[in-house]
Structure 1
Amino acid sequence: MNRSNEENSADFRYVRGVATTEDGADVRVRIWLSGRAFEYAIAAAAVGNLVADWKRQRWCGAIEFFSAPTSGVPRIPCERLYLGS
């Protein structure tokens, strides 16, 4: 299996497209940890850093992103770290 296939076979999924988010927009993220799903809202600007952190050290089983509404969903813990603040 070559490197590109390894990256594509990782448990990292974009769901319902998040590609066109505006600055300041939020994205819904589902993080799978030990077979349990946790849903949060995260700033679209922080998504790239979250993914980069996960690629460096796979600290959870899978991450899914949704363009679904984020009202009523808690903010991801330590979001400021992913924003670089």
Structure 2
Amino acid sequence: MSLSNWKRNKTDITSAIIEIFHKSRQNYGTRKIKQELQQLRKTVSRRRICRIMKAQGLVSSYTVAQFKPHSNGSNESEQTNELNRDF
């Protein structure tokens, strides 16, 4: 494969990844994009897809960290020991 052919193939893959990402409403990550590319008969590794997405600034909405509430600690109630019981 000549150098110009390789560059053309690289731009085709990049444009396909961008198109798939935007059609999925910015939800698809590397795994789903790889599946979509396989349906188009294009073989690309997930690592390469990840590098292209990072270079293009594409971040899946599911990979963004989301707030998750955490408990304050143990289940100990804050009741006083009014009956002087031994625990």
Q: Which has the higher contact order (CA 8 A, sep 6+)?
A: 1
| TM-score (norm: length of structure 2) | 0.30
Q: Quick check: which has more Rg, 1 or 2?
A: 2
Q: Choose between structure 1 and 2: higher strand proportion.
A: 1
| TM-score (norm: length of structure 1) | 0.30
